[in-house]
Structure 1
Amino acid sequence: MKANETKLQQIIEGIKQYLVPLFQRPYSWDKSQWESLWVDINELCGASNPRAHFMGSIVTLPTESVPEGVSKYLLIDGQQRLTTVFILLALLRDTLEKQGDGESVELAHEINENLLINKWKKGLDHYKMLPTQTDRDSFIKIMDKAPLGKEDHITKAYKFFERKVKSVDDKARLKTIISNYLSIVSIVLDSDDNPHLVFQSLNGTGTPLTQSDFFRNYFFMRIHTDRHEEVYSELWQPMQVMLGDSLTEFVRHYLMRNGIVIRKNEVFSHLKEVISNGEALEELKRLKRFAEYYHKIIRPDNENVSAIRKKLQRLNRIESTTCYPFLLNCYEDFRMGLLDELAFVEILKTVENFLIRRFVCNVPTDRLKGIFPSLYNQAKLNPSPLSESVKKVLETKGYPTDIEFRHGLTTAKFYGAGDRAKKTKLILETIEESYKHKEQVSFEKMNLSIEHIMPQTLTAEWEEHLGEEGKAEYPVYLHSLGNLTLTAYNSELANDSFYAKKKMLGDSHLEINKYFNDKDCWTIKEIEERTQSLADLILKIWPFFGYESSTENIHDVSGLLPRSLEIVGQKIAVRSWIDVLENTLNVIADLDPERFQQLASDSPKLIGPDKSQFNEFRVLKNGMFIEVQLSAAAIRRYCIHAVESIDLTAENWIIKMKEEPEYTMGYLF
């Protein structure tokens, strides 16, 4: 980047042209800016020893696409002030010509040929500046001394200054002031500079350009100006209209499809590298083609194949943006006939299966960022069909086994902050669909929501219904899978008794709610039984697609005695599950006191400052009391919930049993 302060005449004389990116925002200065500039110029004209007046800066980037002899610069910043100066100089030229005397006409020709046009160049190269598409017609009419056209900011500026210039007696001095006393900092970028960052640093008060503006500008400065209109209308504009605000993110995913992970602030530099290594127009055609795929991925209603459309709609509900680079490659194969409809649908099912299992097992989603960009290339190395190769690769990327999946289904918190409820609703709807009811429910028409059978706020009737042990374990099981269902009567059910809820759910058209018909009560025992029942169904809906799995049930830890707890690097000897609970909560309270207080607030029947509220208790190091009249399974579930609340995962909570197998967050290894 080169920056220097210079006079206006020095930057516009010579055979050169300043190109305002063709489809950037139009000229928008109005009377307030024109008046301010004119006041400054008028003061300089009246001063006996005028000093240079700083107008601001212009940022340009030399183009590389046109070798006809006109030095062309993409005007990244400063188009408003530079356009205004050109209008003012053209008006001064016209006014001098109308005066008719030889000296005035000679000065008018000097302005025209040195400052406004490239005299011997033809077509658009004839002009030293080319504004946006919107402004170009009016601007060229002024440069060509033709009658003014439509009323826009360009023509309004000309008419505003027309009155001002006529009132100036010494027009030669006015020309000198404009060309030699208006000072500008000219910043010329190198090809390695990021104009987006430069613009942001210089243009804090204007309307900043978006990354997509720079993508567009960078393409068009490498395409001959004679083709700009055609290329814009056929390629760029349809893509811009189609994707709107999603365009920048699309370009990021498009570039990532080749196997690299690109951060959001790196997109422009990567795109620049791709364009500089290839033919800009061909790359833009390819980008447009992939934009059509992306449009279908983010808005599946635009996909005509119903089976593919339905699978994409499901993926969008589990917010699967990390897999978009991979799906772009699959869409390209589908369009080219390398992948048939059945294979494409199978791949989409596989991706959903992978994401659902990891969600249930609470695998951090940030790890997905490194999986999907390279998935296509890794799968293509395998001689098997793509739909099978994808399964083989994903199986090695932290894909939960049936043991791990069942553990997640029976212990995970399925309702809470973030997008957990949205994904859980999809799981419950999929269970409903799996019953193959002859009259399938239209989820789009029904306003279904998730209902807690055991409510989120316990009434006195519910406390009596659950009993003392149930009240203590209530926080552990509240958001478990077995306590959740779907209903259109969420507000009506609220905190009603189980018997009232059972009656209303009995009238439901949903098969999933027929489960409650023969239940006489709803306690922790019933919740655990339903959780296992739903887990059995879910294991069939999203079956393990790998080659080594087991359905061994590890949810029951009764009879298993722990001997040590390892948590965030600390190894603690324990003799009972109560020891596990106490030490786990002590570590959490020490690591993150604020999250611990939130746990206490969410679980007043388990943690609190008043020992009288508990049946049996222990005292933590911070003075808080905990309920210990809990089953081994309930303690295990709650410890998992507590550890996950401070963003720890399986590797951070390990229990070793006296029988020797290692028990990690409920997983057996």
Structure 2
Amino acid sequence: MQAKETLFADLVQGRAQQFQVPLYQRTYSWAEKQLRQLWSDILEQAELLESGDEASTHFLGSVVLAPSPQNEATFPRWLVVDGQQRLTTLSLALAAIRDHIADAEPDEAERINEEYLINKRKSGNDHFRLLPTQADRPQFAAHIRNALPEQRDGGSVADAYSFFRRKLIEAADPADPQDAFRIEQAITSRLTLVAVTAERGDNVHRIFESLNNTGLKLSQADLLRNYLFMRLPNSGEYIYETYWLPLQDSLSNDELEQLMWLQLVLDGDDRVRRQDLYTAQQQRFERGEVSETEIEGYIKELHRRGALFRRLLRPEEEQNAAVRAQLRRLDAWQAQVTYPALMLLLDRREHGELDSSETARAMSYIESFLVRRMICRVPTNNLNRIFQAVPGQLPFDVPVADGLHQLLSADNRFWPDDNELREKIRTAPFYQYGRWHQRKMVLQRLEESYEHPEPLDFAAAQLTIEHVMPQSAGSEWIRMLSEDATDGENAEDLHSRMQHTLGNLTLTAVNSELSNHPFERKQGLLRGSHLEMNRRIAATERWGAKEIAARADELADRAIALWPAPLRGVGRAERSRDWHLAHLVLAALPHGTWTSYGDLAAFIGSGAQAVGNHLAGTARLTNAYRVLTSDGKVSDGFHWTPPGAGGDVRARLAADGIRFTANGAADPAQRLTADDLALLVTDDGDSADSTDPAQCALAGQTEETRAGRFFRQLEADDSPETVEAVRALLTDWEELGGWIGHGAGQVTTSAFLMLGEAGAPGRGIWPLTLYPGSGRGGTAEVVFQHLAVREPFTDRTLRSGLLQRLNELEGVDIPEGKLELRPSFCLSLLEKDHNRELLAKTLSWFRDRWEGRGTP
């Protein structure tokens, strides 16, 4: 047996050879969670390459190989005993890069193919460098041969390929572009593997067991602590008791590790990763002869900065009111990414380089940077890099607060100016971006700007975000919107475009009472509100498009006054960023789905005509042909760019799983609305309408109150038969061993069908969330999006099994393309005995899969 460190390129390049995954291996099963982590590691390595750092590679894991019984002297074949998930994933990533650059760099695409993916002169199965198990082989081969249309429905293999295609489009972000060839180099020459090569007589399964028999690992903080005190033979006991123990007692192990990392960043290391903390600090100490005095100095400085760090974690420890208020808002924003800059400011203040008022002013720039970017829908993927670079890039020749203002205003920071902020407040669907607590904080700050003489205690108030014009607009709302519709836009399109904009949103504690009612009824409730913004809405005679736009302008004035603007004179790319977001969501369209020009326009905060013009003028845009008219037809003005690039549009749509009705329109059940599109690029837990199960009421009076509220709302909108069917469903679920969590909700109350420890809902799992209808009938939301990151339903075949069973209910027809979203069906369907019985069996199946963690 031989074991050596190698790279993917060294393993697969060279003469023709093949790596065969044995029949007994499980099929390819990496899901979004593993793919995201790998992509993060790849991008880190790409950035290190860009910076010229050739030393810090990333260890990906082991690959155990054994000679194949089909081995030939001129064509080596290896059995992949362990590591097939890694090798398959890297191969699919390279195939995605090849296809991403194929139009612009055909020669380079062919090079990638021949160096890593195929044996050029071999045919049949021998053509492939990697040969997966039989179950995965057809789809893997199709991707390597690039023999199918862009969108394929092939399980985990196709999902992984599509993931990398999406991420490569995302990597073209104007704020932080990544070169595809540098990503290729990171994959092939920066991800290290340990290749264990067995001889014919070796017990390869024993090797596999020993490699995977891992115990509890020491943290980076543990390793560094042990190293430090090993270097303090004389003063270690005194330093430990005086400085280290108080520090360790005041912070958790994770917080201590974060402080150690921040210490490196503050000392100018703007590239160090937390997982490399121990190695980086050890290298610093070992560059020269380090004395005990220097080690003591490091620990004393860590102790001093620990007191500053605790103020970020617990703002109430800050003495100055203005700085404390800023820290509280950033803490509420959950802005841990800004810690390097915040620590720098507190550190400089302690050294007398700025006073508390200047510290608060500097922190207001950080808050504005975050808030303006969120309102203007600037992706957050480069925030770590921006703030980690602050200590090393802050100008020396200007005061600290002014220097930070200047630094954050620099080119490629994308801090939106007043004009862009005003435009996005008017047009962007604010409710669909950022996290719910961030959206709530923006509205809270806007309310505070009215400086009410008796301000509300926001910490005690149970406020949620309310749509004044409701998300589900009844006939009275549609009639009013018809009066405002112009330029060929109908009332429904106008509603879709404006419902989620900031001008239509407010805060209220009476969300369920406001619900879906006409504006006249809402006026009375809003007029009695303690919030100034609600009283101003109530004073308006009607609430249509003009009124929403006027309020947006008023809020924009306040936002511009609240959150300072960047300095002038920097280059920007505001519109290209909007189109980049459109490109990203188009690339993420699941197999078997389509969307409309109006839906895409509402999602990015644009107009349908502008969307059509952009799609028509952008060459080779992924999935542009899947944007149809609102009635599911190919637009009369659609043409391939360049001409003839895609053939017959209906044939391409059919190949992508789109069904057609008798009149030739795309199946409306497969259409993705603007809200659906938002889910495609939203992380689990960030979406606007999903109540966090961690906020569910558990046992006791609180649950009884929320349960009662849930059924009161249900009874107000559904028939007695539906209400009784829902009661029976919840009883059946509890008899299966589940429990019911009732959430406060962001729009209305809800009922979660939970499994897991009743008291730790954040660690549980739930297949359905039930919502009262608010004027449109109650619904059961199938939470495929959440299940995709919760074991065992990270396995797409299990989620597909749940979908198939639900579709057996009469009246339920959820398309396969919504398997990553949160589709709904009407609770009134449960009035039928047959449907109730089928759903009970489905929920029993779900529970059994969870208890067996995926066992068929």
TM-score class, shorter-chain normalisation, is 0.5 to 0.7
Q: Distance in 1 between matches of 2:681 and 2:396?
A: 40
CA contact (8 A) 1:415 1:479 kept: yes
CA deviations on 1:558-603 (whole Å, 9 max, x unpaired) are xxxxxxxx979x9xxxxx976543355689998666x998x99xxx
1:293-372 to 2 correspondences below 5 Å: 293-372=308-387
How much has 1:535 moved relative to structure 2?
A: 0.8
Q: What amino acid is aligned across from residue 221 of structure 1 in structure 2?
A: M
> Which segments of 5 or more consecutive residues in structure 2 lack a partner in the other structure?
4-208, 576-581, 587-605, 640-648, 661-672, 683-856
**Partner of 2:271 in structure 1?**
261
CA deviations on 1:59-99 (whole Å, 9 max, x unpaired) are xxxxxxxxxxxxxxxxxxxxxxxxxxxxxxxxxxxxxxxxx
**Partner of 2:245 in structure 1?**
237
Structure 1 position 287 matched with structure 2 position 302: yes
How much has 1:641 moved relative to structure 2?
A: 12
3-state secondary structure, aligned to 1:387: helix
CA contact (8 A) 1:360 1:408 kept: yes
Aligned residues: 403
**Partner of 2:503 in structure 1?**
482
Q: What amino acid is aligned across from residue 477 of structure 2 in structure 1?
A: W
CA contact (8 A) 1:506 1:517 kept: yes
Q: 2:432 aligns with which of 394, 412, 416?
A: 416
3-state secondary structure, aligned to 2:529: coil
CA contact (8 A) 2:616 2:638 kept: no
Q: Distance in 2 between matches of 1:201 and 1:268?
A: 26
CA contact (8 A) 1:293 1:331 kept: yes
Seq. identity, % = 31
How much has 1:464 moved relative to structure 2?
A: 3.6
CA contact (8 A) 2:426 2:553 kept: yes
Q: What amino acid is aligned across from residue 414 of structure 1 in structure 2?
A: F
CA contact (8 A) 1:311 1:345 kept: yes
Alpha-carbon spacing, 1:263–1:376, altered in 2? closer, same or farther (3 Å):
closer
Q: What amino acid is aligned across from residue 223 of structure 2 in structure 1?
A: F
Q: What amino acid is aligned across from residue 207 of structure 1 in structure 2?
A: L
1:93-112 to 2 correspondences below 5 Å: none
Structure 1 position 398 matched with structure 2 position 421: no
**Partner of 2:451 in structure 1?**
436
Q: Distance in 2 between matches of 1:295 and 1:589?
A: 52
**Partner of 1:524 in structure 2?**
545
Q: What amino acid is aligned across from residue 494 of structure 1 in structure 2?
A: S
Alpha-carbon spacing, 1:511–1:582, altered in 2? closer, same or farther (3 Å):
same
3-state secondary structure, aligned to 2:471: coil
Q: TM-score, normalised by structure 2?
A: 0.43
**Partner of 1:582 in structure 2?**
612
Q: Distance in 2 between matches of 1:414 and 1:578?
A: 18
Q: What amino acid is aligned across from residue 301 of structure 1 in structure 2?
A: E
Structure 1 position 546 matched with structure 2 position 567: yes
CA deviations on 1:231-274 (whole Å, 9 max, x unpaired) are 33332232223221322223222212225122232222112123
Q: 2:527 aligns with which of 493, 506, 526?
A: 506
CA contact (8 A) 2:430 2:500 kept: yes
3-state secondary structure, aligned to 1:366: coil
**Partner of 1:222 in structure 2?**
231
CA contact (8 A) 2:365 2:564 kept: no
CA contact (8 A) 1:254 1:328 kept: no
How much has 1:221 moved relative to structure 2?
A: 1.4
CA contact (8 A) 1:592 1:646 kept: no
CA contact (8 A) 1:259 1:375 kept: no
Q: TM-score, normalised by structure 1?
A: 0.54
3-state secondary structure, aligned to 2:507: strand
CA contact (8 A) 1:354 1:399 kept: yes
3-state secondary structure, aligned to 2:359: helix
Alpha-carbon spacing, 1:334–1:221, altered in 2? closer, same or farther (3 Å):
same
Q: What amino acid is aligned across from residue 385 of structure 2 in structure 1?
A: G
Q: Distance in 2 between matches of 1:503 and 1:596?
A: 47
How much has 1:377 moved relative to structure 2?
A: 4.1
3-state secondary structure, aligned to 1:372: helix
Q: Distance in 2 between matches of 1:588 and 1:293?
A: 51
Alpha-carbon spacing, 1:280–1:596, altered in 2? closer, same or farther (3 Å):
farther
1:444-455 to 2 correspondences below 5 Å: 444-455=459-470
Q: Distance in 1 between matches of 2:318 and 2:334?
A: 18
Alpha-carbon spacing, 1:446–1:347, altered in 2? closer, same or farther (3 Å):
same
CA contact (8 A) 1:392 1:546 kept: yes
> Which segments of 5 or more consecutive residues in structure 1 lack a partner in the other structure?
4-199, 555-565, 571-575, 601-605, 626-637, 648-669
CA contact (8 A) 1:409 1:535 kept: yes
Q: Distance in 2 between matches of 1:484 and 1:578?
A: 23
**Partner of 1:276 in structure 2?**
286
Q: What amino acid is aligned across from residue 262 of structure 1 in structure 2?
A: V
CA contact (8 A) 2:270 2:392 kept: no
**Partner of 2:554 in structure 1?**
533
How much has 1:483 moved relative to structure 2?
A: 0.7
3-state secondary structure, aligned to 2:297: helix
Q: Distance in 1 between matches of 2:618 and 2:257?
A: 41
CA contact (8 A) 1:470 1:523 kept: no
Alpha-carbon spacing, 1:543–1:519, altered in 2? closer, same or farther (3 Å):
same
How much has 1:505 moved relative to structure 2?
A: 0.8
